[in-house]
Structure 1
Amino acid sequence: MVVDEFHYILGDASFKSEVNLRLLDSLKEYPHITYLSATPILDQFIEQLDVLKGVVYYQLKWEEKETVEVIREKSPTPMAAGVGIVSMYKRGDYPVLLVDGKQVYSKECIIFLNSVTNILNIIKQCELSPEEVNIIVGASEDNNKLIKELGEGFNKGRIPLRGEKHKMFTFCTSTSYAGCDFYSECASTFVISDNRKLNTTIDIGTDLVQIAGRQRLESNPFRKRLYFIYNTGIEDIDDTTFE
């Protein structure tokens, strides 16, 4: 048995502990188990998990690595910033890069949040149509009901396969943080974190590492840049600590 993205055993413990414990209990019937992740848990936490005590630990060291630049912006109202991003795209004010002496425009964007309600509020405020937006959230009756309230034509979407067309706006919750691949030729990535929402305040550092690798096409020059918009409570960290 191979348990992929095993770091979520710890990362999701605050709100999915029962599911994690059922998984670990079911693994007892397998004589050989491999726990695998490109975003491993820190060693100090591995040693505290009974299920991982005494397990042989291998660490792969990559010789060639691509670095994703994180452009972070502190905002007292991250959701208003989300509305601003959508409005910017709607009026044709796209992010632009100079590639081989030519200007290349990002005419698609993928916005990661961890609140279905916030996603729907942005869609309503910006008056987006079903043709403009792809909503990728967890499969549940509650989510389906909320999306239907947007009006006719709105449905829970899916990640386009390689070669399929992307819509201008793709909104994703944590269901797309790990192991999901996007094949857009020009999409920019935005992460919006509101610390007043409990489910966006946990392990955002790990989430950024996961989200940074979702754009898979080397032909997309915007894949090496990620915009992180966030607010803080009492504490904040300096640039050096963040990097």
Structure 2
Amino acid sequence: MWNILELANLVCFIVVFGVRFAWMAKSSSSNVQFPFAPEYPPNLDTIQSLFNTMVVANSVNTILTFLKALKYVRLNSQLGVLTRTLALCQQSIVGVLALFVLVVTSYAVAGWALWGVNMEEYCTLGFAMSSSLQLLVGNANYDDMRQNNRILATMYFWSFLVLGLFLLLNFIIAILSDSFAKISGRAFTQTMEELLLRYYQNMRAFLRPDNVRRIFKGISSGNSEPKLIRSLIRQLEERLRLAGWQ
């Protein structure tokens, strides 16, 4: 998944530079004078289209760049809760999300067919999809729906709420909650990256000068080395626990 995210980020980055250079070249060669001549300059539409494309690509690239930060927070057991939770429940949640998309799409098509002529919210399929999602968060024009089709509006409204909100969305929340509970309870196997990082932290703390001096001091005073090592390990674990390695 992270490789796909890196690839998408790189592609968006290249697209942004390409569109920006095209926009700059087109703007430099347009020779548009203000105020405009009596006729509208035809080059402005192309320049505006390139600029809007650059803005959209920059927006997508910004989101992808910040999402890449989740790749590095996995190294911390507290900050990596989100990525571990999603990784643990990905197989279960994909099926529920597919059902959710199917239900929303089917009700959007039905709303488009029922109220597409009389209501602006359902005049196109895209508007119908947006209105269906807004209905799940309580933003619904129920009075206009009933005014145009009293019987089917009631059936449409309540059946969609029961399927989309009370069942499917709560299924998604339940799956995420169960995975989060397992992650919080440490009911998962640590990845190789985490094990290597923890081993590096342990070795770095073990080889600190004060710890080495303490070992040699204990040996010279006659204390047994295994006892000293066990005591040192307990101290290291306490330090790591205070530092966040629980």
Q: Which has the higher contact order (CA 8 A, sep 6+)?
A: 1
Q: Do both proteins adopt the same fold according to a TM-score greater than 0.5, normalized to the shorter chain? A: no
Give TM-score, length-normalised by structure 1: 0.19
Q: Relative to total residues, which structure has the larger helix share, 1 or 2?
A: 2
